[in-house]
Amino acid sequence: MTPELGQLALILALLLALAQGILPILGAWRGNAALMALARPAAAGQAVFVGLAFAILAWAFLQSDFSVAYVANNSNLALPWYYRLAAVWGAHEGSMLLWVTILNVWTVALAAFSAQLPDAFRARVLGVLGLIGVGFLAFILFTSNPFARLLPVPADGADLNPLLQDPGMTFHPPVIYMGYVGFSVAFAFAIAGLLGGELEQAWVRWSRPWTNIAWGFLSAGIVAGSWWAYAELGWGGWWFWDPVENASFMPWLVGAALVHAQAVTEKRGSLRAWTILLSIFAFSLSLLGTFLVRSGVLTSVHAFASDPRRGLFILGFLVVVVGGSLLLYALRAPKVVGGKPFALVSRESAVLVGNLLLTTAAAMVLLGTLFPLIGDALHLGKISVGPPYFGFLFTLLMLPVVLLLPFGPFLRWGGSGGGAQLRSVLLRVSVAALACAIVAAFFADGRLKAVAGVAGAVWAGTGTLLYVYKRWREMPRGRRYPAEMAGMLLAHAGVGVFVIGVLLSESLSTTRDVRMAPGQTQSIGRYDFRFDGVAATRGPNWHAEQATVTVSEDGRTLATMHPQKRTYLRGQVQTESAIDPGIVRDLYVALGEPMDPQHLEGAWALRLYHKPFVRWIWGGGLLMMLGGFAAAADRRFRTKRQAGADETVPAGAQESHA
Amino acid sequence: MRAPLRLLCVLLLGLAGLAAAQAIDPLPFKDHAQEVRFQQLTSQLRCLVCQNENLADSNAGLARDLRHEVFEQMQQGKSDDEIKQYLVARYSDFVLYDPPLQAGTVLLWFGPLLVLLGGAVAVAVTIRRRSRRAVPATPTETGDDDW
Amino acid sequence: MSRLLPFFGFLLLVALFGFGIWWNTGHDQREVPSPLIDKPAPAYALPKLDDPAQTVSKAAMLGHPYLLNVFASWCIACGEEHPVLMAEGRTLGIPVVGYNYKDAPEDAKAWLAQHGNPYDLIVADREGRTAIDFGVYGAPESFLVDAKGVIRYKRIGPFTPEAIERELKPAIAALQRETP
């Protein structure tokens, strides 16, 4: 009976979402306070029922209720309880439920912390979020019901995809959805602003912390996914430019642009239309990611069964949400040049150029991802677009961003003066980057990529440190680093750390596929890997051949590693690599096949990796995440302010756009 | 995240038990430089069986055959381009993860440049328009709010 | 006007996605069209399955068109295609040559003994080396080779009765019109 209750809960949630989506917006339009006041209780009610549905599905997994088809397909009796819980979002239906659940988390948080918003504005924001909820709940109920029954009830379920039986994969979906769905808040603010014609400067201040948090979560989710690919797939790679990865990366790039554009609009009143457009883009790309992954229009990698009905539904939803909001933008975007003027050399200009590069990068990723489809449409033949394309163009586009990065904080709003200071910063970062590049050249045997990585990272890092120092010297204690600035500094430092990680690990890594008999040693650089044979082992729902590999450096034992080749219940074979982590290098061993299948005690094929600085990649990503969170914590966003206290520009009061 | 397809692909091809583990394939390279060249080349070639994997990583039977073919041709002194041509002649441009610049891929390679140029014009116009209205320096704004 | 640009861009995307959904209901995404269509088939010399001492070469097969059907005992989709070939193979009017791909000869023979043999002749490519020249990337695949040894048509994936009627038979008919 309980699964039916789950479905009932979803139906009630859909009805409440309809109420939340329609009535408050009507109320705001008509000036009806009673209708507007419905927004918060409706949102709370929707959240209760969605939460209930989620809990019922989780309970079905924990109880191994195989009468529910989704449970039977993605779990079994031997699966440990924590992976049963993670299996809730291990496939299509449940992950959509997770999406809606997280949407409700965001909505409730917004409803709770929106006391300072004007009533009409809050009603519109919650209404827009309600409409998004309607779309997704209808999608679940009509095409992807997680509570569908299975008859006859099987004695045991299939299995959760073994690749997903990993801690990294357990956390990756909820975190990345927090990011995706979090952009819905900025989107709702933008739409509410367009609907009501409110002063953009005011709503941008309110929406900034939400955007920063969403972007921080998205960073964390991408880091988790990348880490999972690295640790679990056994290829030692951390990014493949696969359509599914690109789907999460596009909103991240646009989100990074949005975080900066919002700062400009909030503080200076400029770039209003652009900020609105970016808010729409960031969320639209999140939706687009969902579409790409689930519609099956690309040779994508996801296990999500592609079903044209689902694809059509999401496409229709995209048309309504994205098409509608872009049309609304065209009709109602601020037609005036608002805000304070700025000079060519100013922080506004720098942000604009950075925005241009980030959005171009997102457009490039979109084009590359969709090009095989364009090829089909225009009969250009089957074309593959892969890492060489994306890697090359992305590097070209990000190079100016890294070069510009140190100067951002030193540039002044509006751009008056400060030229001497900029020249001094330029001199210092150049000297530091050059000096470190020369030193690095000795260590890297002249490998250009490594030298460029060190130079780029030092360039960005020195600039950031110089600004830290300047604030330290000039400002009184306690006022040196407001949270918003600290966030910016953390994220910028993260860029430097990331650059080191990417370029050094790519240029200095060594990979070897070797054949090793027990007792044999193979070396990579200073590291000696001794193969000590293979033994059988087992876990809760798998058995495995487990190798022992002892790594030593100059005769000193560093680590004993145990790569495995697991066989899960349903016969799926899965490599479990062993990693010896370090700050400046990872050692990584993956176990292949026995050279002679009849002699497991004989020689095996192994893959050995030495990966310098690879962890800095995720370290950089985590610093960016922290930056997003820290900036959102700024007190400024919590204090109640008069709308547009900086410079109120009533719509239409200034010269109109040419 | 590419992994689920591996499983799917294993099921589709009925190769269960053969694939799903990764491709670890010790080959007798002449020296490490050749091994690096081999790794770089095979990682830029797409496997036709499990289509979201490159030749270096795929454990599909065909990927193994093609890897060995690439290895053989390297021993014969063929250049990377010759090896790519060999595969393209048999399997079409689909095998190349690095799409060649042709009439059909002009949009792919130069599309981003167009976006960049269009955007640059818009940015330049915006900055010009806004800076013309710039009032003389107002160095009074040194509040904390205005860092 | 410039404010409508994002909207128009989005309409293009929608058109593309709509096309994608429609296209993929009728096409297998994983299908990679062969560049060898209308090109001479690669030269080959392969042993017969039932008599490895004898080899069959491209030159020996010149002079009349034939269908080369790639199959293997380990290939599940080949099992689906097999009854179709058993039923329709003899009605094509041209020889059907089996191309046993990366298979142990005893497995292949046992498989044919169990399911029946629709082939006029079977060649074996144990290592799959020649299959690379044909651009084979899975089984089943089928090549229609004309009398001059040129590949005229390729089917990727199993033949269905509809595919034979709609694609293969017209292609054979076209060949026969050329060389009476």
What is A443-467 written as a DSSP string?
A: HTTT-HHHHHHHHHHHHHHHHHHHH
Chain C residues with CB-CB distance to B91 below 8 A? 32, 34-35, 135, 137
CA angle C105-C107-C111, nearest 5°?
Answer: 115
Cβ pair B130, A419 in contact under 8 A:
no
pLDDT value for B5: 39
Checking if the pLDDT of A648 tops 90, the result is no
In a domain, B143, yes or no: no
pLDDT value for C151: 95
For the stretch A465-517, pLDDT in tens is 999 999 989 888 888 889 999 999 999 999 999 999 999 998 889 999 999 99
Q: Does C107 lie at the interface with B, CB-CB under 8 angstroms?
A: no
Q: Determine the residue type at B133.
A: R
Q: State the burial class of residue A275 (Cβ atoms within 10 Å of its Cβ: 0-12, 13-18, 19+).
A: buried
Q: Determine the residue type at C54.
A: Q
Closest Cβ–Cβ partner in A359, A479, A573 for B144: A479
Residue C20 and residue C78 share a domain: no
Cβ pair C128, C104 in contact under 8 A:
no
Residue B90 and residue B105 share a domain: no
3-class SS of residue C70: strand
pLDDT value for B132: 76
Residue C19 and residue C74 share a domain: no
For the stretch B70-121, pLDDT in tens is 999 999 999 999 999 999 999 999 999 999 998 889 999 999 999 999 999 9
Q: Residue C170: is the preceding peptide bond cis (ω within 30°)?
A: no
User: Rounded to an integer, what distance in angstroms lies between the CA atom of residue B101 and that of residue A392?
Assistant: 14
Checking if the pLDDT of A646 tops 50, the result is no
User: Rounded to an integer, what distance in angstroms lies between the CA atom of residue B88 and that of residue B94?
Assistant: 8
Chain B residues with CB-CB distance to A242 below 8 A? 1-2, 52
**Contact C132/B90, CB-based, under 8 Å?**
yes
CA proximity to A174, closest of A266, A116, A88: A88
Instruction: Indicate the pLDDT class of residue A656, thresholds 50, 70 and 90.
Output: very low
In a domain, B69, yes or no: yes
Share above pLDDT 90 across residues of chain B, in percent, rounded to a whole number: 48
Count A/C contacts: CB-CB distance under 8 Å.
Answer: 70
**Contact A385/B99, CB-based, under 8 Å?**
yes
Q: Report the pLDDT averaged over residues A96-115.
A: 93
Share above pLDDT 70 across residues of chain A, in percent, rounded to a whole number: 94
**Contact B62/C128, CB-based, under 8 Å?**
yes
Q: Does C126 lie at the interface with B, CB-CB under 8 angstroms?
A: no
Closest Cβ–Cβ partner in C21, C29, C30 for A311: C21
Cβ pair A614, A606 in contact under 8 A:
no
Chain A residues with CB-CB distance to C33 below 8 A? 381-382
Average per-residue pLDDT for chain C:
90
At C142, which CATH number? 3.40.30.10
**Contact A315/C18, CB-based, under 8 Å?**
yes
Residue B113 and residue B54 share a domain: no
Alpha helix locations (H) across A378-447? 387-404, 419-443
Checking if the pLDDT of A343 tops 90, the result is no
Cβ pair A189, A214 in contact under 8 A:
no
pLDDT value for A420: 83
Q: Report the pLDDT averaged over residues A62-76.
A: 92
Tell me the backbone φ, ψ of residue B118, rounded to 5 degrees: -60, -45
User: Rounded to an integer, what distance in angstroms lies between the CA atom of residue A16 and that of residue A488?
Assistant: 39
How does DSSP classify residue A146?
T
Q: Which domain holds residue C5?
A: 1-30
User: Rounded to an integer, what distance in angstroms lies between the CA atom of residue C170 and that of residue C160?
Assistant: 15
CA proximity to A609, closest of A629, A630, A632, A591: A591
Chain A adjacent subunits, 3+ CB pairs under 8 A: B, C
Among A435-439, A473-477, C70-74, the range with the most confident prediction by mean pLDDT is C70-74
Please report where in the chains the tokens 């060949």 appear, as a residue: C175
Residue C154 and residue C93 share a domain: yes
Chain A residues with CB-CB distance to C11 below 8 A? 323
Query: Rounded to the nearest 10 degrees, what angle do helices A347-377 and A272-295 cross at?
Result: 30
**Contact C132/B69, CB-based, under 8 Å?**
yes
Instruction: Indicate the pLDDT class of residue C29, thresholds 50, 70 and 90.
Output: confident
Sign, CA torsion A151/A157/A163/A164: positive
Residue C23 and residue C67 share a domain: no
Minimal C-alpha gap between C33 and chain A (Å): 7
Q: Which domain holds residue B118?
A: 101-133
Give bridge partners of residue A545 from the DSSP assignment. Answer: A536, A565
Chain B residues with CB-CB distance to C128 below 8 A? 61-62, 65
Residue C91 and residue C50 share a domain: yes
User: Rounded to an integer, what distance in angstroms lies between the CA atom of residue C135 and that of residue C142?
Assistant: 11
Residue C93 and residue C14 share a domain: no
Residue B121 and residue B87 share a domain: no
Cβ pair B133, A342 in contact under 8 A:
no
The structural domain count of chain B equals: 2
Share above pLDDT 90 across residues of chain A, in percent, rounded to a whole number: 58
User: Rounded to an integer, what distance in angstroms lies between the CA atom of residue A39 and that of residue A111?
Assistant: 8
User: Which own/partner pairs from A650-657 qualify as long-range (CB within 8 Å, at least 24 positions apart)?
Assistant: A650/A199, A651/A197, A651/A199, A651/A334, A651/A335, A651/A336, A652/A335, A652/A336, A653/A336, A654/A336, A654/A337, A654/A338, A655/A336, A655/A337, A656/A335, A656/A336, A656/A337, A657/A335, A657/A336, A657/A337
Closest Cβ–Cβ partner in A302, A342, A384 for B134: A342
User: Rounded to an integer, what distance in angstroms lies between the CA atom of residue C42 and that of residue A223?
Assistant: 48
Residue C104 and residue C68 share a domain: yes
In a domain, B29, yes or no: yes
Cα torsion B112, B113, B117, B119 to 10°: value is: 10
User: Rounded to an integer, what distance in angstroms lies between the CA atom of residue A216 and that of residue A256?
Assistant: 10
CB atoms near residue A639 (< 10 Å): 8
Query: Rounded to the nearest 10 degrees, what angle do helices C5-26 and A324-332 cross at?
Result: 170
**Contact C134/B94, CB-based, under 8 Å?**
no
Q: Report the pLDDT averaged over residues A440-468.
A: 88
Q: Determine the residue type at A398.
A: M
Q: Nearest residue of C to residue A373 by CA position?
A: C20
Residue C95 and residue C9 share a domain: no
CB atoms near residue A487 (< 10 Å): 24
Q: Does C137 lie at the interface with A, CB-CB under 8 angstroms?
A: no
Q: Render the burial of B7-21: b for 16+ CB within 10 Å, e for the rest.
A: bbbbeebbbbebbbb
Residue C50 and residue C22 share a domain: no
Chain B residues with CB-CB distance to A471 below 8 A? 147
Give bridge partners of residue A588 from the DSSP assignment. Answer: A579, A609
Q: Report the pLDDT averaged over residues C130-142.
A: 91
Please report where in the chains the tokens 């058995």 appear, as a residue: A543
- The larger pLDDT score, comparing residue A319 to residue A2, is at A319
**Contact B2/A242, CB-based, under 8 Å?**
yes
Q: What is the DSSP string of A335-370?
A: -B--S----SSSHHHHHHHHHHHHHHHHHHHHHHHH
Those residues with Cβ within 8 angstroms of residue B79's Cβ, 6 or more apart along the chain or in another chain:
none
**Contact B141/A636, CB-based, under 8 Å?**
no
Sign, CA torsion A389/A390/A394/A395: negative
Checking if the pLDDT of A525 tops 90, the result is no
Those residues with Cβ within 8 angstroms of residue A377's Cβ, 6 or more apart along the chain or in another chain:
C16, C19, C20, C23
Q: Identify the residue among A357, A573, A609 best suited for mutation to test binding to B, counting B beta carbons within 10 A and taking the highest.
A: A573
Chain B residues with CB-CB distance to C136 below 8 A? 62
Q: Provide the ipTM.
A: 0.89
CA proximity to A249, closest of A109, A347, A130, A387: A387
Q: Report the pLDDT averaged over residues B120-127.
A: 92
Residue A454 in tokens:
């060190």
**Contact A329/C18, CB-based, under 8 Å?**
no
In a domain, B55, yes or no: yes
Average per-residue pLDDT for chain A:
88
Q: Does C36 lie at the interface with B, CB-CB under 8 angstroms?
A: yes
For the stretch A271-323, pLDDT in tens is 888 999 999 999 999 999 877 877 767 765 444 455 778 888 888 999 999 99
User: Rounded to an integer, what distance in angstroms lies between the CA atom of residue A657 and that of residue B67?
Assistant: 60
Q: Which of residues 21-50 of C touch A (CB under 8 A)?
A: 21, 23-25, 27, 29-30, 32-33
Identify the weakest region by mean pLDDT among A82-86, A292-296, A351-355, A358-362: A292-296
pLDDT value for B14: 35
In a domain, B147, yes or no: no
pLDDT value for B22: 62
User: Rounded to an integer, what distance in angstroms lies between the CA atom of residue B23 and that of residue B57?
Assistant: 5
Domain parsing of chain A, residue ranges:
2-400+625-637, 418-503, 510-613
Closest Cβ–Cβ partner in A299, A333, A376 for C30: A299
Checking if the pLDDT of A647 tops 50, the result is no
Closest Cβ–Cβ partner in C30, C35, C127 for B92: C35
Chain B residues with CB-CB distance to C135 below 8 A? 90-92
Q: State the burial class of residue C106 (Cβ atoms within 10 Å of its Cβ: 0-12, 13-18, 19+).
A: exposed
Identify the weakest region by mean pLDDT among A357-366, A418-427, C108-117: A418-427
Residue A282 in tokens:
């960031």
The structural domain count of chain C equals: 2
Residue B126 and residue B85 share a domain: no
For A154, A582, C150, the CA distances from C143, given in Å and listed in that order, are 44, 54, 10
Minimal C-alpha gap between B12 and chain A (Å): 13
Residue A294 in tokens:
């689930």
Instruction: Indicate the pLDDT class of residue A657, thresholds 50, 70 and 90.
Output: very low
Closest Cβ–Cβ partner in A299, A306, A373 for C16: A373
Chain B residues with CB-CB distance to A389 below 8 A? 97-99, 108-109
Chain C residues with CB-CB distance to A194 below 8 A? none
User: Rounded to an integer, what distance in angstroms lies between the CA atom of residue A424 and that of residue A467?
Assistant: 12
Closest Cβ–Cβ partner in A235, A356, A573 for B123: A356
Residue C46 and residue C91 share a domain: yes
User: Rounded to an integer, what distance in angstroms lies between the CA atom of residue B8 and that of residue B44?
Assistant: 23
pLDDT value for A527: 94
Cβ pair A542, A569 in contact under 8 A:
yes
Closest Cβ–Cβ partner in C133, C136, C138 for B13: C138
Q: Does C27 lie at the interface with B, CB-CB under 8 angstroms?
A: no
Cβ pair A180, A284 in contact under 8 A:
no
Q: Nearest residue of A to residue C7 by CA position?
A: A326
pLDDT value for A171: 85
CA proximity to A250, closest of A237, A259, A241: A241
Q: Nearest residue of B to residue A226 by CA position?
A: B1
Residue B81 and residue B35 share a domain: yes
Count A/B contacts: CB-CB distance under 8 Å.
Answer: 203
Chain A residues with CB-CB distance to C19 below 8 A? 373, 376-377
Cα torsion A118, A124, A127, A129 to 10°: value is: -90
Q: Identify the residue among A340, A371, A384, A396 best suited for mutation to test binding to B, counting B beta carbons within 10 A and taking the highest.
A: A384
User: Rounded to an integer, what distance in angstroms lies between the CA atom of residue A575 and that of residue A232?
Assistant: 8
Those residues with Cβ within 8 angstroms of residue A165's Cβ, 6 or more apart along the chain or in another chain:
A79, A83, A568
Q: Report the pLDDT averaged over residues A563-585.
A: 89
Closest Cβ–Cβ partner in B8, B16, B123 for A353: B123
At B63, which CATH number? 1.10.8.640
Minimal C-alpha gap between B128 and chain C (Å): 18
Count B/C contacts: CB-CB distance under 8 Å.
Answer: 48
Q: Nearest residue of B to residue C126 by CA position?
A: B65
pLDDT value for A468: 92
Those residues with Cβ within 8 angstroms of residue B94's Cβ, 6 or more apart along the chain or in another chain:
A381, A382, A383, A384, B46, B48, C32
Minimal C-alpha gap between A129 and chain C (Å): 21
